[in-house]
Structure 1
């Protein structure tokens, strides 16, 4: 009989502590019963090598002692941070030190290695790949930018050439006008002299006739014009024009033409954040509690409660199928009520970094901001209808919208009223989202954009550049009655994703990579519609038809 299965020492499963051993995972160093094998293998974050328990090495594979090669190290010294054998212990060098089992220490080390592998494969390597892809895209933009610079220089040169050509043409035209005027003066003077000269010639002819004639009466009538001819007409003197070219000042010409700014080369931190693995996005790790519990309820004045968003840890904005947006505290007191500008009921709302309320009005195709009880239109769309929105960590707004014909959906990032980014298609040009209008959106702590696409029965997550990361369509081993229909979505300080499954009256919790962690299904939820999480990781759930707000504690407090 195999000593591993002796009746005197019944070995139980390390996972459930109930079933008899059937298998052994050589990589995780755990003993598993037949009922837990599937569960163990379903953890895709680790690598496994499950063998029948009979094939488990009969002797522990302890590491060899570096100082005593004939011995194995069965213990680990916590103070000296090294594995030790029996001879090392007998030397007295580790007297009073905390010692632990070497195989158990190796098991913990193996878990650390698996965590490192998961981080490298799922976060670090993809981030470097994304940065490299971004650099290639940046190079393409640079090529285009410098071509645009050349075009601008050519345009400026052409402008200067045109101006010079105009100046040259005007000067030549002016010279032609001067020449015509000058010649006209000379022609007039020439005509005058020709007329006088003709008279002189006529006088010569007449005198010769008189001298040849013996007619005394005609000679006696002669009157001399010599005195007239001796008085020459004044000579008109015209000074010719001259051209005085200015010396070309190269420096001034450069200043007039324009100049290029110098390249500025600096170094700065990457715009990418490298998230800590295992859902850790801050210095303190919070764990899920075994049994989430309701710690508070608030009854609200709506027939149908659609939306909830935290102003702070004590005050919550709500809205429903009503034109009023109401602010409640956790003591059921209505603190403030704001009516929408159009009188329509808002589809979604969010609180900005500065504490202002923003909401969407699909009927007027606008996004509006409430500040000091005054409502200002921030965005007005043409051809698109805004539905759901969230405020990001950098102060932008992410707005989900459908085309007016209902055929397309996209997410648009706005800084104020300026569109900065549009997310609609994947790398193959296929739509990321269905055309239905139920698409709540939120930003995760790692800057991923998470969308509850009700029409696709899935959670769709893209990174900050709009590149598809993963899709969650419900837990594969789900025992829920209905299909997965996510309505709303929220994230917490651990970068965990929470989504309301309205049809099955529960909340799904995922890690930042889409791995299912657990359900919240024990809090008597009925049609959970919208979610938000406060700064202390308390979950607020809006129950649509019971028109009440529930505060749920689902995370352990940090020590």
Structure 2
């Protein structure tokens, strides 16, 4: 059974340990099945109060004072302990803030439930994901070292018999490094498994405490979530390489080739899990001057590029100062802008069917299409461009990956040969941290997410509570947690999804007006381009 769900097993009677629980004795704190109630009540020496088990969940047990053997009905906030009436009258808690112990139970229970949810839905899956990645690293290890051994062997075959000893020596060196490399990965994997087991144990302990509804246990609870949010540093291994030389019998040992050293280091990846704020915070507003604003992109944490109903693209700082305007090469309005990993501005020009890049104040054409019109795009982690485009007859649309001007992959149909996307031109696109390709398809009223190979992962058509078809997606972006954020234009809000398409929450408390373009900076601050006001709003949501 999956340890995350083992707490859902049927609760057994404390007496017979066989039948399901139906009743509970409040005074003895014993869970009972129907058959064992009579046996329990037959003990006339003790007092009993048997109620249904469901009723028991709404009647928590007061903790007993260890000093005075009385029920503790109050809670001392300064001492962080339950206290009884005698404790209060003794003067030991004079001047201390006292609260109702049951209210404290409710507060702590909520905190525990919140911790449990984070452990189950965020922290534990992340550790599982890291543990799973070890298999990929081991597969890469086998592939690399196999290629390395093959290279050494092939080079050795070109030499005379007298150099076999050198070949065998270097093979042995490779095996030693491979063993060390594998040992390092195994150690890392064991550490991850150990921490994952701790996370799982926290989940089980929390479930047990929540089920017990015991104030003593609850008040003693100390959250470990802050500690467990800090994920372990990533194991960074620099693979050894093999360098060959021309055969020179006089310098046989030196000329055969050498292996670089195996380097195994641990690099902090910065993948601390960031919880969502209960109430996203509005930070600042930048007025761009556009009558209609479409796109916003962050070249850094202190600047933003924008484009709208104008032939000029504008760079602003966060105080709203215009730093640089750039006109398109054709003097046409750009459809979309984005910034590459190297900081260069890229824009699409549907009128000329081109994708263009601005380098050193010079505009260079990167892609020119025939039979298709490019509209929106994003720059990927590998430096490629993912471009959405529509056919001239407006009947087809697709996403194409480009490396420079070279087409690498076209994504248009699902596994059954059906179109993945609608034929409309309003499609915003981004690449997630897990390399998924996320498209906000406005005409389809959906977010369509495929993996790197183009296989459909899921479609999101709005929160179940909304009216079918009312979801109005425009801009889309992702953050450091692989969460997907989409602008819901007509409903004046932002939807936040996890990487598997599960709805997490709305951002709807920052007075947003017709949000269109979105981007997230390196600090996970959200920038929202309001279409009709021409303003960009900066929002902190994590």
Normalised by the size of structure 1, how large is the TM-score? 0.54
Which secondary structure state, in structure 2, belongs to the residue aligned with residue 259 of structure 1?
A: strand
Q: CA deviation at 1:275?
A: 1.0
The Cα offsets for residues 412-440 of structure 1, whole Å up to 9 and x where unpaired, read as 597xx599x98979999999963655442
The equivalent residue for 2:274 is: 276
Shift of 1:511: 6.2
Classify 1:378/1:139 alpha carbon distance in 2 versus 1 (closer, same or farther; 3 Å). farther
How many pairs were matched up? 400
Does structure 2 conserve the Cα–Cα contact (< 8 Å) formed by 1:475 and 1:516? no
Instruction: Encode CA deviations 1:192-237: one digit per residue, 9 max, x unaligned.
Output: xxxxxxxxxxxxxxxxxxxxxxxxxxxxxxxxxxxxxxxxxxxxxx
Which residue does 1:499 correspond to in 2? 486
Residue 319 of structure 1 corresponds to 307
Q: Structure 1 residue 488: deviation in Å? A: 0.8
Q: Structure 1 pair 460/119, CA: closer, same or farther in 2 (3 Å)?
A: farther
Pick one of 366, 384, 388 that aligns with 2:376. 388
Residues 117 and 315 of structure 1: CA distance in aligned 2, closer, same or farther (over 3 Å): closer
- The 3 A distance-change label for structure 1 pair 113 and 397 is farther
Residue 508 (structure 1) aligned with residue 494 (structure 2)? yes
* Cα 1:126–1:88 shift into 2, 3 Å: same
Uncovered stretches (5+) of structure 2, i.e. residues with no partner: 1-51, 164-246
1:97-496 pair list within 5 angstroms: 97-160=96-159, 252-269=251-268, 271=269, 273-277=271-275, 279=276, 287-288=279-280, 298-300=288-290, 305-309=293-297, 317-320=305-308, 323-327=311-315, 336-341=324-329, 345-351=333-339, 356-361=344-349, 367-376=355-364, 387-390=375-378, 399-401=386-388, 409=398, 434=421, 438-442=426-430, 451-454=439-442, 456-459=444-447, 472-478=460-466, 482-490=469-477
For the aligned residue pairs, the C-alpha RMSD in angstroms reads 5.4
- CA 1:128–1:466 in structure 2 vs 1: closer, same or farther (change >3 Å)? farther
**Contact kept in structure 1, 2:290 and 2:308, CA below 8 Å:** no
Q: Where in structure 1 are there 5+ consecutive unaligned residues?
A: 1-51, 165-247, 280-284
Other structure's SS at 1:267 match? strand
**TM-score after normalising by structure 2:** 0.56
Q: Contact (CA 8 Å) 1:388, 1:441: kept in 2 or not?
A: yes
- 8 Å CA contact 1:448–1:461 kept in 2: the answer is yes
Q: Deviations over 1:351-379 (max 9, x none)?
A: 45776422245677765432442224567
Greater Rg by CA: 1
Q: Is the 8 A contact 2:398 2:412 kept in 1?
A: no
